[in-house]
Amino acid sequence: MSKHQPARAENLRRAIAQEAARIMAEHGIRDFYVAKRKAAERYGVFEGGMLPKNTEIEEALAGYQRLFGGESHAQTLQSQRHAAVSAMQWLAEFQPRLVGPVLTGTATAHVDVQLHLFADRAETVTLMMMDHGVPHEIGERRVKMNAERVIACPSIRFEMDGQAIEALVFPRDGIRQAPVSPVDGKPMRRADAAEIEALLESERPE
């Protein structure tokens, strides 16, 4: 084997990660696997061992947004976080937590604000929506809790301050265990409204 082959393989992995990041940023694809496969096809790579990890793609996405997103990305992210705070304050009785790319800062303009809510019955959330005349869609998402356990969570999509929001409703005790992150396989980071407000305050220009 040529001594240059490992370096070529590493460069190819990096190129695929960067292309996957571009696809996610520009085309609104949220699934790391889909973006990764599309990027790999462009480079003619079909071996799974040559593909970058999701963490590498997320890092490349953050770099892409810093390089090309600029002020537009910062404003979009700020709007998404403000909408998250508004929704979380309104849904305070369900102990809302923000998760996903709006929290980590890698969100594109195409992604929903993702919330986790906690209630004895998901219907109490939808009844609140109906009582306040808030248009919403009800669905279901499968959520990975660990290597062996996947659960079905009710999902509620609605808008707040012009931003699309998807809220997954967990049982009350679900607040003690976060699902597995699709990025690194570790428990998802969750943040309450006070944490997001502090984050917005820290990013406010002097």
Q: Model-level pTM?
A: 0.84
Measure Cα distances from 174 to 66, 85, 113, 188 in Å.
35, 21, 19, 12
Which band of pLDDT confidence, cut at 50, 70 and 90, is reported for residue 29? confident
- Does the pLDDT value for residue 161 go beyond 60? yes
For 156, the 3-state DSSP assignment is strand
CA distance 50 to 93: 46
CA distance 143 to 204: 34
Over the stretch 76-133, which tens digit does the pLDDT of each residue have?
999 999 999 999 999 999 999 999 999 999 888 888 999 999 999 999 999 999 999 9
Q: Residue 31: what pLDDT?
A: 87
